[in-house]
Copies of this chain bind each other. A is one copy, B any other.
Amino acid sequence: MDRKNDIIALQSTALDIGAAIGDVGDHGSGAIAVFLGTTRGEVNAQGRELVALDYEAYAEMAETQMRQMAEDARRRWPISRIVMLHRTGLVDVGQPSVLIAVSTPHRAEAFGACRFLIDDLKKQATIWKKEVWSDRSSTWAEGRGRQP
Contact = CB atoms under 8 A, between A and B. Distances in A.
B107 A27 contact: no
Contacts of A25: 38, 94, 96
Interface of A: 16-18, 21-22, 25-41, 93-94, 96, 103, 105, 107, 110-111, 114-115, 118
Contact of A39 (B30, B115, B118): B30
A30 B35 contact: no
Contacts of A33: 33-36, 114
A34 B17 CA distance: 11
Given A35-B111, A107-B35, A107-B118, A40 B17 contact: no
A37 B114 CA distance: 15
